[in-house]
Amino acid sequence: MCINFIGEIIIKIVKVGVIVFPGSNCDRDMFHVLSDVFHLNTKYYWHEKGLPDNIDAVILPGGFSYGDRLRAGVIAANSPVIDDVKKLANRGIPILGVCNGFQILVESNLLPGVLLKNESLNFMCQWTNLIVKNNKTPFTNKLKLNQKIPIPIANGEGRYYADPQLLRDLRQHDQIVFTYENYVNGSLEQIAGICSEDGNVVGMMPHPERAAERLLNPIDNKPSSLIFESLLTTIGVKN
């Protein structure tokens, strides 16, 4: 909401929603990057509230929803907001899950496969390189195929696994979006991010919101910022 020069209240259309679950802890980081760096009209949505129909994109941020109890993401996958996310996903609205958000998307069957404990059995926080394997999703369309993205990971359960049939399907439908350049955590085929068959739902373990600003990225922030610029292009915001 803002006020114009003659004092009328103008309600701007909410463009991007960041869902907040109990225990989300990258919600504020994601919000900052979307609104302050890429100037998107961004709003938080508490997990018990519904999402508006006219939303343009939804982000499920990282963190420890419900303290990772039972299994990362499994409780949040049963939150009321997930029904709305599913409806929006079916309508083709771009949806991105980062880290815990990816885990929630997997647990709610919006994305296939599972995320297991890292091979080291430890939480891992380190910088790594991603390779773009699908540049047709709403979050990768400004990146080049096989482009390198320097980006940090920070997770304990980030090892992607799929059974052989599913892996064949993923390949067939071009659902592998990002792979790690090097061996990181034992992820199957070095998979770091995937998308739905339609491509509008994307999940990734690394944190693009931590890598899109020059000050925070010791290597190169441009590739990560292209993830957000892809979204801007997709939802029709000129930059």
Using CB under 8 A as the criterion, which residues of the chain lie in contact with another protein when the complex forms? Answer: 22-23, 25-26, 28-29, 32-33, 46, 62-64, 66-69, 122-126, 152, 154, 156, 207, 209-210, 213, 215-216, 218
Place of tokens 């390779």: 131
Q: What does DSSP say about strands 57-60 and 95-98: parallel, antiparallel, or unpaired?
A: parallel
Nearer to another protein, 19 or 162 (CB): 19
Nearer to another protein, 68 or 84 (CB): 68
The one-letter amino acid at 142: K
Nearer to another protein, 46 or 83 (CB): 46
Phi, psi of 64 (to 5 degrees): -125, 70
* From 99, 157, 195, 229, active-site residue: 99
* From 26, 47, 195, 209, active-site residue: 209
Nearer to another protein, 92 or 123 (CB): 123
> Among residues 205, 138, 133, which one has the least CA distance to residue 173?
133
Spatial distance between the Cα atoms of 7 and 131, rounded to a whole number of angstroms: 49
Among this protein's residues, is 207 annotated catalytic?
yes
Task: List the structure tokens of 66.
Answer: 């419900």
Integer CA distances (angstroms), 28 to 19, 20, 208, in order? 10, 9, 13
Are the beta carbons of 64 and 26 closer than 8 angstroms? no
Integer CA distances (angstroms), 132 to 37, 40, 72, 84, 210, in order? 23, 24, 25, 29, 18
Spatial distance between the Cα atoms of 26 and 201, rounded to a whole number of angstroms: 19
Nearer to another protein, 67 or 80 (CB): 67
Are the beta carbons of 62 and 104 closer than 8 angstroms? no
* From 26, 107, 207, 229, active-site residue: 207
Buried b (16+ CB within 10 A) or exposed e, 15-50: bbbbbbbebbebbebbbebbbeebebebbebebeee
Catalytic residue IDs = 99, 207, 209
